[in-house]
Amino acid sequence: MSPVNIKNADLHSHSCVSDGTLTPEALAERAVARGVELWALTDHDEVGGQHRARDAALALGLPYLCGAEISVTFGGETVHIVGLGFDPDHPGLVEGLKRTRGGREQRAREMAASLAQAGIEGAYEGALKYVGNPDLISRTHFARHLVEAGVCRDTYEVFRKYLTEGKPGYVPHRWAALGDAVRWIREAGGIAVIAHPGRYRFTANEEYALFSEFREHGGRGVEVVTGSHTAQEFAKYGDMAREFDLLASRGSDFHSPEESHADLGMLPHLNASLSPVWEALADRIHRP
Ligand code: AMP
Ligand code: MN
Ligand code: MN
Ligand code: MN
C-alpha cells in the first residue's frame, strides 16, 4: 500500500523492552488483528526491540517503521520526543540512548528510598519483578508493583499519589537535551516528532518555545492523534502542526491490555487537511 493511502498508522507503542507488558512479537500480532496498516514500536530510550519488532511485523505482512521515544528535559519539564524511520544501529543514536538510560538505576534506588520514608518498603525489589530489560527500570514498573502490593487500585492512582512531582516517590531527573535527541534521530536518518504535547504542564508561551526550538533543531513532526489527547487536543495540535509547518503523527501509546485506554489502531484518523509524517518517510518503511 502506498503511504498516501495509509490511514491506520500506529506510530507509538511500548513493549516489555521498556515499560509495556507485551513482547514485540505479541504487539505485532495485536496490531494486525486491529487493522493497523503501518506500525512503529517506540520503546523509551531504547532500540533493543527494533529488529524483533520489524521481523515480526514483516512476517505478518505488516509494514514497519523503526521507532523510539526519547526522554528530554526542557524548561524544567520532562518532554518526550519520538523518533521514526531511523537506522536502529546508527552508532550516535545507540550511544546517545545508552547515556539517556544510564541514570535510571540510581533514580530507581532513590525512588525506593523515598517511598520507604513514606512507609512503603521493598519497592525497588518489587518493581524489578516487572522489569523486562534491566537497563530500563521506569516509574511504570514501580506503579505495577504498588498495585500488586495493594497500595493503590490502579497505576493511574499510583501516579497521582506517589510518582509525580511533589509526591513521595518522585525523584527529579535530568534527561537528554532537546537538541541532542533531535540530532541523534536526524543523523540516524529519521524524523523527530514531539510526543503527546497535550500532556505537558506548559503555559502557552512555554509551549510556543518548545515548538520553536524543536523546529530550530530540525524537528519536523508533532503527534496530533494520541491516546492521551482529548478531541479538543486533536483539533488544537492539528492547528499547531499547520502553524509551525510540522508533519502530523498518530499513535496509541499502547502499553498493556490491562492498563492502556487506547488500544493499537483504534483512535480516529488524522484530519485530511494534515500532512501525515509517514508520507515523508516512504523510503524508510520496511515492507513485507
Ligand atoms: P519514566 O520514564 O520512568 O519517568 O516513566 C514514564 C512512564 O510512566 C510514561 O511513559 C508512562 O508510561 C507512565 N506514566 C507517566 N505518567 C503517568 C500517569 N500520570 N499515569 C499513568 N502512567 C503514567
Ligand atoms: Mn511509558
Ligand atoms: Mn511519553
Ligand atoms: Mn509512550
24-66 confidence digits (pLDDT tens): 999 999 999 999 999 999 999 999 999 999 999 999 999 999 9
* Mean pLDDT of the region 80-87: 98
**Long-range contact set of residues 113-122: C-beta below 8 Å, sequence gap at least 24:** 114/168, 114/169, 114/170, 114/171, 115/142, 115/162, 115/168, 115/169, 117/168, 118/162, 118/168, 118/169, 120/146, 120/149, 120/151, 120/169
CA of 274 to the centre of ligand 2 (A): 26
Average pLDDT, the chain: 97
CA of 177 to the centre of ligand 4 (A): 18
CA-160 nearest atom, ligand 1: 19
Q: pLDDT > 90: what percent of the chain?
A: 98
CA-44 nearest atom, ligand 1: 2
CA of 90 to the centre of ligand 1 (A): 27
User: Are residues 144 and 208 part of one domain?
Assistant: no
User: Are residues 97 and 198 part of one domain?
Assistant: yes
User: Are residues 201 and 111 part of one domain?
Assistant: no
Q: Is the CB of 159 under 6 A from ligand 1?
A: yes
Instruction: Give residue 252's pLDDT band: very low, low, confident or very high (50, 70, 90).
Output: very high
Instruction: Give residue 260's pLDDT band: very low, low, confident or very high (50, 70, 90).
Output: confident
User: Are residues 133 and 15 part of one domain?
Assistant: no
What is the rounded distance in angstroms from the CA atom of residue 232 to the CA atom of residue 235? 5
User: Are residues 194 and 89 part of one domain?
Assistant: yes
Q: Identity (one letter) of the amino acid at 228? A: S
What are the cell numbers at 246?
510540522
User: Are residues 227 and 183 part of one domain?
Assistant: yes
**17 and 279 in contact (C-beta within 8 Å)?**
no
Q: pLDDT > 70: what percent of the chain?
A: 100
* Per-residue exposure over 19-48, b if at least 16 CB sit within 10 Å of its own CB, e if not: bbbbbbbebbbbbbeeebbbbbbbbbbbbb
Q: Is the pLDDT at 98 greater than 90, yes or no?
A: yes
Mind listing the pLDDT tens digit for each residue in 70-83? Answer: 999 999 999 999 99
In a domain, 2, yes or no: no
In a domain, 68, yes or no: yes
**Confidence (pTM):** 0.98
pLDDT at residue 94, rounded to an integer: 98
Q: Is the CB of 196 under 6 A from ligand 1?
A: no
Q: Which domain covers residue 133, as residue numbers?
A: 104-161
Q: Which of 97, 124, 139 to mutate to test the pocket of ligand 1 (most atoms within 8 A of CB)?
A: 139
User: Are residues 81 and 185 part of one domain?
Assistant: yes
User: Are residues 216 and 95 part of one domain?
Assistant: yes
Atom 9, ligand 1: which residue's CA is nearest?
140
CA of 178 to the centre of ligand 4 (A): 17
In a domain, 3, yes or no: no
CATH no. for residue 110?
Answer: 1.10.150.650
Atom 11, ligand 1: which residue's CA is nearest?
140
In a domain, 110, yes or no: yes
* Mean pLDDT of the region 207-228: 98
Q: Is the CB of 19 under 6 A from ligand 1?
A: yes
Q: Is the CB of 139 under 6 A from ligand 1?
A: yes
Q: Report helix, strand or coil for 152.
A: coil
Domains identified in the chain, total number: 2
Instruction: Give residue 4's pLDDT band: very low, low, confident or very high (50, 70, 90).
Output: confident
Residues 6+ away with beta carbon under 8 Å from 119: none
Q: Is the pLDDT at 1 greater than 90, yes or no?
A: no
**185 and 86 in contact (C-beta within 8 Å)?**
yes
Q: Is the CB of 100 under 6 A from ligand 1?
A: no
